[in-house]
Amino acid sequence: MTTDSGPAVAADEAAAVDRVLSSTATPGATLTGAERHQVALWSRRAMADASNGCSITASPDGEVTGDGREWLVDRVTTAAATIRPTHIDQLDDAGLDAPTYVEIVGLVARLQAVDTFCFAIGAELPELPAPIDGPPTGIVADNAGLLGGWIPTVGPASPPNALTLLPDEHEAMHDLHGALYLSVEGMADLDADRGLHRTQMEFVAARTSLLNECFF
């Protein structure tokens, strides 16, 4: 990650951003590198369209329409709070199963976190790397089940376990979480300070969650 157009970035944060960008080009559990690259392009387009006040494929209401993958990318990027179990069922009926759903959600969420981070510090959006050839890894947790959530998880459904159906997506989520916020272990430190004191971080997080209509 280059930050010539913005303030200095800590080495661990810059490295985490680079790992997210690399993940948009490499094969995942169910998608090829080219397919993940397309997901990233769709997500950036959806955010640009929304920022410009343009209509988006994923309208706030209604059923899944058009290409299920593109619909999901648009919805997660711009209106994630409107997703309901009925949408997941419709996507499954259209051939987009739970592992692919989780992979798209994880990839889009991380890319949007990185792009928002770059916007916040005044840096240009990093270019997406070219996709890397190779088949999907097929790595899916075989001990996941419906345990209180809308998709299978390993352990009870909760934000920290949201992507556990795909171990690589789960680890990538926590990798970025630790670099840009706090690790799961670090969250036990109520006096943590990363330029902002923990209380200030939680104030910002609570306000952001409200604006994003997070219902957890």
pLDDT per position as a tens digit, 25-73: 999 999 999 999 999 999 999 999 988 776 555 455 568 888 899 999 9
Establish if 87 belongs to a structural domain: yes
Q: How far apart are CA 96 and CA 94, in angstroms?
A: 6
Q: What tens digit of pLDDT does each residue of 140-186 get?
A: 999 999 999 999 999 999 999 999 999 999 999 999 999 999 888 89
Tell me: pLDDT of 201 over 80: yes
- Based on the fold, state whether residues 106 and 194 are members of the same structural domain: no
Structural domain count, the chain: 2
Question: Is residue 202 within 8 Å of residue 195, measured between CB atoms?
Answer: no
Establish if 161 belongs to a structural domain: no
Establish if 147 belongs to a structural domain: no
Establish if 155 belongs to a structural domain: no
- Based on the fold, state whether residues 90 and 126 are members of the same structural domain: yes
- Based on the fold, state whether residues 171 and 213 are members of the same structural domain: no
- Based on the fold, state whether residues 43 and 100 are members of the same structural domain: yes
Establish if 83 belongs to a structural domain: yes
- Based on the fold, state whether residues 74 and 107 are members of the same structural domain: yes
Which residue in the block uniquely carries the two structure tokens 């690399």?
22
Establish if 149 belongs to a structural domain: no
- Based on the fold, state whether residues 204 and 172 are members of the same structural domain: no
- Based on the fold, state whether residues 135 and 189 are members of the same structural domain: no
Q: Domain limits at 204?
A: 184-216
Q: How far apart are CA 35 and CA 166, in angstroms?
A: 17
Residue 211: other Cβ atoms inside 10 A: 8
Q: Residue 50: name the closest of 60, 62, 38 by CA.
A: 60
**Is this model's pTM higher than 0.75 or not?**
yes
Q: How far apart are CA 86 and CA 109, in angstroms?
A: 21
Q: Residue 99: name the closest of 69, 71, 77, 70 by CA.
A: 69
Q: What pLDDT does 145 receive?
A: 97
Q: Which band of pLDDT confidence, cut at 50, 70 and 90, is reported for residue 91?
A: very high
Mean pLDDT of 15-23: 97
